[in-house]
Amino acid sequence: MKITVVGAGNVGATCADVLAHKDAAHEVILLDIKDGLAEGKALDIWQSAPIDRFNTKTYGVTNDYSQTANSNVVIITSGLPRKPGMSRDDLIEINAKIVKSVTDNIIQYSPCTIIIVVSNPLDVMTYQAYLASKFARTRVMGMAGILDTGRYRAFIADELNVSPKDVQALLLGGHGDTMVPLPRYTTVSGIPVLELITKERIDSIIERTKFGGGELVKLMGTSAWYAPGSAAARMAEAITRNQKRVLPCCVKLEGEYGLENIFVGVPVVLGKNGVERIIELKLTDSEKDQLHNSAVSVKEMMEVLDRMHS
Ligand SMILES: NC(=O)c1ccc[n+]([C@@H]2O[C@H](COP(=O)([O-])OP(=O)(O)OC[C@H]3O[C@@H](n4cnc5c(N)ncnc54)[C@H](O)[C@@H]3O)[C@@H](O)[C@H]2O)c1
């Protein structure tokens, strides 16, 4: 198994490091356009192999896609991160060009690969990779839901002073302020969360989750990388190990949830073929409304991209 991570910045390098520590592939190729950056970070990760006892070989390359040939999975993290005051929408134009050129290069050497997009604005960049690759929808997906549920679960664990391992949750919709966390599907070791936390507290945790990315941008002056890198690695590992994990991922809907031709987050089964199944939940009217509102805002951003291409 071979995984390529494009972009050796904060998220890409963290993702490569997590993949190596998980021994999720035989080799991980890290690629960046900055001379020596990917080589240096890949070498640094490899030097932790004897200490942390993993076998995954990490290689770094500067813009040489021939070295990525026959990758089973490619994770695209190249692009600008959000700066304070910058919305995800502001990033569309710059990052779409980067994601398009990266996808064109990747598919030339790995025509059978599975693509995981991380670059923001996430739902639209996943659409961009889908358009450029012309792959089936099962082979192009975006990472957002695992990160967003990670934040939501961490806040619930703090609130209840319990292990984050025991908090299970689901979340739907676009990656942004319109995401739809589902308290009805949130449990602590099987106990419905609403039996443990008041509705008011859950609502304030949901609000904090919706703006969880912005909270970190404000603190650090750039967007997060540890949890995003781990979340993307989790998806790649589910594919390389054919784990059939049920994870919230950004995928193209073709009628599911009453939505057509749109990339939004829903629970899917991830295995060796990529998105092997989309799980359709029975939503309440209010949940349906929230999902459809989220879809409207994603659709508006997808139309920005369509106009750029027309
Ligand atoms: N989906 C999510 O939930 C999520 C979470 C965090 C960050 N992000 C996004 O991920 C992206 C990366 O964030 P980061 O913090 O790692 O940024 P970063 O600036 O640290 O790294 C980006 C890297 O991409 C490289 N790059 C730029 N153009 C390239 C190209 N054409 N080919 C190869 N490499 C190229 C840059 O040289 C840089 O090293 C941003 O768009 C950010 O908004 C998404």
pLDDT digits (tens, 9 = 90+) for 143-177: 999 999 999 999 999 999 999 999 999 999 998 88
- Cα-Cα-Cα-Cα torsion 248, 284, 296, 156, nearest 10 degrees, comes to -50
Residue-level pLDDT at 86: 67
Residue partners of 177: CB distance under 8 A and separation at least 6: 210, 211
Closest ligand 1 atom, residue 12 Cα:
16
Q: What's the pLDDT at 309? A: 81
- Rounded Cα gap, residues 11 and 227, in angstroms: 9
Q: Is 265 in the pocket of ligand 1 (CB under 6 A)?
A: no
Give tens-digit pLDDT for 220-253: 988 899 999 999 999 999 999 999 999 999 999 9
Residue 309 is among the residues annotated as catalytic for this protein = no
The finding on whether 102 has its CB within 6 A of some atom of ligand 1 is yes
For residue 8, the ligand 1 atom closest to its alpha carbon is 39
Query: What is the structure's pLDDT at 30?
Result: 98
Residue of 74, 128, 223 with the most ligand 1 atoms within 8 Å of its CB, for mutation: 223
217 CB under 6 A from ligand 1? no
Pick from 54, 81, 67, 56: nearest CA to 4: 67
Give the total residue count for the chain: 310
Phi, psi of 208 (to 5 degrees): -65, -40
Q: Report d(CA 296, CA 304) in Å as an integer.
A: 13
**What is the torsional sign of CA 193, 194, 195, 198?**
positive
Look at residue 89 in the predicted model and tell me its pLDDT: 67
Task: Give the strand pairing for 167-168 and 187-188.
Answer: antiparallel
pLDDT of residue 177: 85
Q: How far is the CA of 237 from the centre of ligand 1 (A)?
A: 20
- DSSP for residue 79: S
* Residues of the chain under the 70 pLDDT cut: 82-84, 86-89
The predicted pLDDT at position 59 comes to: 98
Residue nearest to atom 18 of ligand 1 (CA): 9
Beta strands at 73-76 and 114-117: parallel, antiparallel or unpaired: parallel
For residue 126, the CA-to-ligand 1 centroid distance in Å is 14
The pLDDT of residue 91:
81
With residues binned 3-state (H G I as helix, E B as strand, rest as coil), the percentages for the chain, rounded to 5, are: 50, 20, 30
Mutate to test the pocket of ligand 1, among 82, 120, 264 (most ligand atoms within 8 A of CB): 120
Question: Does ligand 1 come within 6 angstroms of the Cβ of 122?
Answer: yes
The catalytically annotated residue of 21, 26, 175, 309 is: 175
pLDDT recorded at residue 310: 77
For ligand 1, atom 13, the nearest C-alpha belongs to 81
